Structure 1
Amino acid sequence: MDTLNIFKALSNDARLQILEWLKDPRAHFGPQVGPKGSIDLVDEGVCVSQITEKLNMTQSTVSQYLSILQRAGLVHATRIGKWTYYRRNEEEIKRIGSFIYKEL
């Protein structure tokens, strides 16, 4: 676990908001249709375009935020066609919680 990069990734309000929304994507995002039909918000993740729209930021900024979260291990990315979908890495988030509880 790269603790420093994880805490850096968590030090931004928008990135924290993304993680909060991805915790329960069905409550925060609408249905998605991909190249082969419906895309499950939980199994495949949420499309960058939906996150961009909800944050009201540019796609390049949101993509950069998601890249930071991915490098920290906090989200998984899945590419379907020309779109990328993101979902939380629950195992890593639990590990961070355990680390904070035990070590800090």
Structure 2
Amino acid sequence: MDRDELVADCRVRAATDLFAHMWDPVVLAALGSGPRRRSELRAAIGGVSDKVLTQSLHRLLASGLIDRRAHAEAPPRVEYALTGLGQSLVDGPMRALGRWAEEHGDELLDAQERSAPAV
């Protein structure tokens, strides 16, 4: 990639923005095992508020990474699932990042701890 191509609206920025929100990759990972209802997502993730989960789902839908399917049942049932694009992100870069974190996570945390100001 040419240095001149790294502008505010470039593809690299768009891709890295997918990891800018802490819960988005977590939601994607939770959907990696298959479609889930909202309540199942909250239970699987743990620690995410309803508001934050809603925001994350909206961002991921807008990015084309997940799909929302409403089933015509009583009571209504809505499921979220990875799209092909979302699956490619989970299977590719997210899996690679997970392997890197397993291999180098301790080094990263140690470096951050050393550079943290003393309290």
TM-score (normalised: structure 2): 0.51
CA contact (8 A) 1:48 1:59 kept: no
Q: Does 1:85 align with 2:79?
A: yes
Amino acid at match of 1:10: F
Tell me how far apart the structure 1 counterparts of residues 15 and 59 of structure 2 sit (CA, whole Å).
9
2:36 aligns with 46
2:59 aligns with 68
- Please provide the CA RMSD for this pair: 2.9
Higher relative contact order (CA closer than 8 Å, sequence separation 6+): 1
- Which runs of 5 or more structure 2 residues have no equivalent in the other structure? 1-9, 93-119
Instruction: Provide the aligned length of Structure 1 versus Structure 2.
Output: 78
Percent of pairs with identical residues: 13
Cα gap change, 1:61/1:83 in structure 2, threshold over 3 Å: closer, same or farther? farther
Cα gap change, 1:11/1:51 in structure 2, threshold over 3 Å: closer, same or farther? same
> Over alpha carbons, which structure has the higher Rg?
2
- What secondary structure does 2:70 align onto? strand
Q: Deviating runs (4+, > 4 A) in structure 1?
A: 2-6
1:35 aligns with none
1:59 aligns with 50
- Which runs of 5 or more structure 1 residues have no equivalent in the other structure? 25-41, 98-104
